[in-house]
A and B are shown apart, each in its own frame.
Chain A
Amino acid sequence: MADSSVAYQCPNCGGPLEFQPGSDKIVCPYCDTELDVATVEELFNRKQERAAAAQNAKEEQWKTENAGKEWDASESGHLKAFTCSTCGAEIVCDENTIATECCYCGNPTMLPNRFGGMLKPDFVIPFKKTKEEAVAALKEFYNGKRLLPAAFTANNRVEDIQPMYVPFWLFDSSVHASADFKGEEDTVYETSNETVTETRVYQCIRSGHMDFRRIPVDGSTKMDDTYMESIEPFDYSEMVPFSPAYLTGFLADKYDVSAEDSVERADVRVKKSAEEALAETVQGYDRMSVTDSMVNKEDNQVVYALAPVWILTTRYEDKPYTFMMNGQTGKFVGTLPYDHKKSWMYMLGATAVLTPLLYFAAKLVMK
C-alpha cells in the first residue's frame, strides 16, 4: 500500500494528506478541507522544485575582496589611533585631533597611539551638520519628555557631543526573488439565523527581479547596529571618493567587522524587502500572507565608506545613555532615562481623572 499513496501537508491546517491516485478530490482528515488533486500536485511540485533549487543553487557570494584599498604611507602618517583604557574602543582621528573622552563609554582618559594599518575607505559622506546644529537637535530631543529626570538635563554635557566618521559597508545587490502567498477572499451573507462567511483561499505565485543599491551595514562592533540603522538613510548623491582631508577635525572609527561578517544583516533586510515588493503585486484579496519565499543574489558589490555621525555618550546613575545624529541629514536618535516615580504618578493621575468620567459612562450603559 505504501507505493499507492503520497504524503503531503494540508495547506489549511498543515496536517498530513493522503490521496489515492485516480481520485479527483482529497479531503484532509484533520480539518475536512477539500482540495482538487491537480491543485495539490501543482502545489507539491512547486515546493519540490523550490527546495531542489535552493539546495542545488550555488549561493552567489558577495564580492568583498574589492571593498577598501590600502593606505598610502603619506596618508597614514597623518592619522592616529586611540585606544580607550576603559572600554577598549579603537578610535581613529587625524593628527590634529585630541579626543578628550571616549564617545562610547564617556571615559575622559585616552592615550593616543600611532595609527596602524587598515583598509582605506572607498567613499566618504562629508559632514553637513555643525556642532551647533547637533547641540540644538539634542536640546530639542529633550523637549516635551515629561518623564525626563530633572537631574539628567542639569548634569548633561551637551557641549561634549563629538563628530565621528563611522565605518560602513555598502552593499549593492541584484536579486531574483520568488515567493508564494496565501490570498484569502471573504464572502459574507446572512440567513435567517446565521451569518455565513465563505473564505476562498488562493495560492499566489510571484517571482521577479530587483536591484538594491548601497544597503548600509555598520562595520564597527562598538557601534550599536540598532542606533546606526535608526539614523538611516544617508543621501548617497553627496557621497564622494575618500580623501583623508575629510577627517580633519573629526574622530573616525576603524572597522572591526569584516564585509563578509556584515553580509547576513544586509541579506535579512534584502529578503524582507524583496518579499514586500512581490507582496505589493498580490492584490484583490481581503488578507494576504507569505507562505514560502526564496531570494537568490545574482550580482553583488560591496564598498567601504565612512558616514558622518554626531555622538554623545553621557552617564546617569551609572548607566550610559547614547545619542546620535546623522551628520548629513540631521536625523537624531537616542535613549533617555525616565523617572519611575513620575511615570507612576502620571498613570495614577490619569486613572484618577478618568475613573469618574468612565463611571458615569458605565452607569449609562448599564442603565
Chain B
Amino acid sequence: MKKLMRFLGLLMLLVSFALPAAAAPKYVVDRAGLLKPQQAQELRQKLEEVNRKYQVRTFIVTVKSTGEMEAGKFANELLDQVKDKSNQGNMVMLLSMDKRKWYISTDNAMRAKITDEQGIKYLSNQIVPKLKKNNYHDAFLAFIEGTDKMLAYYQREGVPYDPSRGFNPMAAGIALVIAAVIGLLIRHVLIRQMNNVMPALEANAYLDKDSFQLEEKEDNYLYMTVKRVAKSKKSSSSGDSSRDDEHGGGGGGF
C-alpha cells in the first residue's frame, strides 16, 4: 500500500510540477513513452486550443502502470490533483499500459457536458479501435476532436451531445430493409386476395364422425435426445467504472 501511495504521489508530483502558476499547464503527460516529441507537442497544442476555447481543463496522461490501483480510481485521483474549479469543467484521459486500460475521468461540471453514458460511449467508439491498433497518436487526436465536438455542441445547444440524436446510417439501413420486407408482405397479401381458389387436400367434411372407431392405441418409448445450450454470459458494455458523486466518466480495456 505504501508502495502504491508512493507511486501515485510521485506521479502527482510530476504532473503538478508541470503546472507553474503563471504558465500554461502541461496538458499531455506521456509517462509511458508512447508518443514522439513532435506528436506530443502537436497534441499539446490542440488540447490547449480546446481548453482555451471552452474554458475547460483536459489532460492526456499515459503511465506504465497504476500499481494495484484501478485505472478509474487512479484517474479520479489525478483529476482531483490537477482540476481547476474556476474552469467550466475538468477531465483526464488516462492510459495505463501494463494492463492496457484506458479511463476518462470527469468532474461534475464536465460530466454535465460529456455524459457518462452517451458522451463517454461516443469517445470510446472513437478512440478504442485506434488504441487496439497501438495507434496512440491518432487515438488521442480522436479524443481531442471528440471532446471539441461535444463541447461545441453543448455551447451551441445547451444540452450534452447525444450521438443518438444525429442521423444513424445503420439504423436507417435496418429500417429500410425491414420496411421493404413488410412492403413486400403487404404486396403479397394484396395479390393473394385476388385469388381464393384453393385445392382440397383432405376429406374431413365427408368423414362420418360417428363411424370412427379406434381399434388400436399403443404408445412405446423409443429413445431420448438431449440438447444443451450454453447460457450467454452478459458482458459489461460500459467497461470499467469508478464513478461516484464527484467523478464521472468511464473506461475499459484495449
Spell out A's residues near B (CB within 8 Å). Answer: 11-12, 33-35, 39, 42-43, 144-148, 174, 176, 178, 183, 190, 193-215, 224-227, 229-230, 232-233, 266, 268-270, 272-273, 276-278, 281, 333-338, 343-344, 346-359, 361-363, 366-367
* B22 interface hit (Cβ, 8 Å): no
Q: Are B170 and A366 in contact (CB under 8 A)?
A: yes
In the complex the two chains form, what is the Cα distance from A206 to B217 in whole Å?
5
* B176 CB to nearest chain A CB (Å): 5
Q: Are A148 and B176 in contact (CB under 8 A)?
A: no
Q: Which residues of chain B are within 8 angstroms of A212 by Cβ–Cβ distance?
A: 203, 206-208
* B215 interface hit (Cβ, 8 Å): yes
Chain B residues 203-235 with CB under 8 Å of chain A are 203-208, 211-231
Q: Are B223 and A33 in contact (CB under 8 A)?
A: yes
Contact status of A334 and B206, CB under 8 A, knowing A11-B223, A197-B227, A209-B213: no
Those 4 A-B pairs whose CB atoms lie nearest each other, nearest first: A358-B175, A229-B200, A211-B211, A269-B203
Q: Which residues of chain B are within 8 angstroms of A33 by Cβ–Cβ distance?
A: 223, 225
Q: Are B176 and A363 in contact (CB under 8 A)?
A: no
Jot down 20 A-B pairs with beta carbons below 8 A, ordered by A. Answer: A12-B223, A12-B225, A145-B193, A195-B229, A200-B223, A203-B220, A204-B219, A205-B219, A206-B217, A209-B211, A215-B203, A233-B206, A273-B202, A334-B196, A346-B183, A347-B180, A353-B179, A354-B179, A355-B175, A362-B168
Q: Are B204 and A276 in contact (CB under 8 A)?
A: yes
Interface size on B, residues (CB 8 A): 55
Residue B184 contacts which of A226, A277, A347 (CB distance < 8 angstroms)? A347
Q: Which residues of chain A are within 8 angstroms of B183 by Cβ–Cβ distance?
A: 346-351, 354
Chain B residues 162-212 with CB under 8 Å of chain A are 164, 168, 170-172, 174-176, 178-180, 182-184, 186-187, 190-191, 193-208, 211-212
Q: Are A35 and B222 in contact (CB under 8 A)?
A: yes
Contact status of A361 and B198, CB under 8 A, knowing A205-B216, A206-B216, A212-B208: no
Residue A208 contacts which of B204, B215, B229 (CB distance < 8 angstroms)? B215
In the complex the two chains form, what is the Cα distance from A209 to B228 in whole Å?
42
Q: Are A343 and B191 in contact (CB under 8 A)?
A: yes
In the complex the two chains form, what is the Cα distance from A206 to B195 in whole Å?
38
Q: Which residues of chain A are within 8 angstroms of B191 by Cβ–Cβ distance?
A: 147, 338, 343
* A300 CB to nearest chain B CB (Å): 13
* B3 CB to nearest chain A CB (Å): 39
Spell out B's residues near A (CB within 8 Å). Answer: 164, 168, 170-172, 174-176, 178-180, 182-184, 186-187, 190-191, 193-208, 211-231
Q: How many A-B residue pairs have CB under 8 A?
A: 228
Q: Are A363 and B200 in contact (CB under 8 A)?
A: no
Q: Are B199 and A225 in contact (CB under 8 A)?
A: yes
Q: Are B164 and A367 in contact (CB under 8 A)?
A: yes
In the complex the two chains form, what is the Cα distance from A338 to B192 in whole Å?
10
Q: Are B176 and A210 in contact (CB under 8 A)?
A: no
Q: Which residues of chain B are within 8 angstroms of A145 by Cβ–Cβ distance?
A: 193-194
* A212 CB to nearest chain B CB (Å): 5
Q: Are A355 and B179 in contact (CB under 8 A)?
A: yes
Q: Are B195 and A336 in contact (CB under 8 A)?
A: yes
Q: Are B197 and A202 in contact (CB under 8 A)?
A: no
* B44 CB to nearest chain A CB (Å): 35
**Chain B residue with the shortest CB-CB distance to A224:** B197
Q: Which residues of chain A are within 8 angstroms of B179 by Cβ–Cβ distance?
A: 350-355, 358
Q: Are A42 and B216 in contact (CB under 8 A)?
A: no
Contact status of A230 and B198, CB under 8 A, knowing A39-B222, A276-B204, A351-B179: yes
Residue B224 contacts which of A200, A226, A338 (CB distance < 8 angstroms)? A200
Q: Are B206 and A214 in contact (CB under 8 A)?
A: yes
In the complex the two chains form, what is the Cα distance from A355 to B187 in whole Å?
16
Q: Which residues of chain B are within 8 angstroms of A350 by Cβ–Cβ distance?
A: 179, 182-183, 186-187
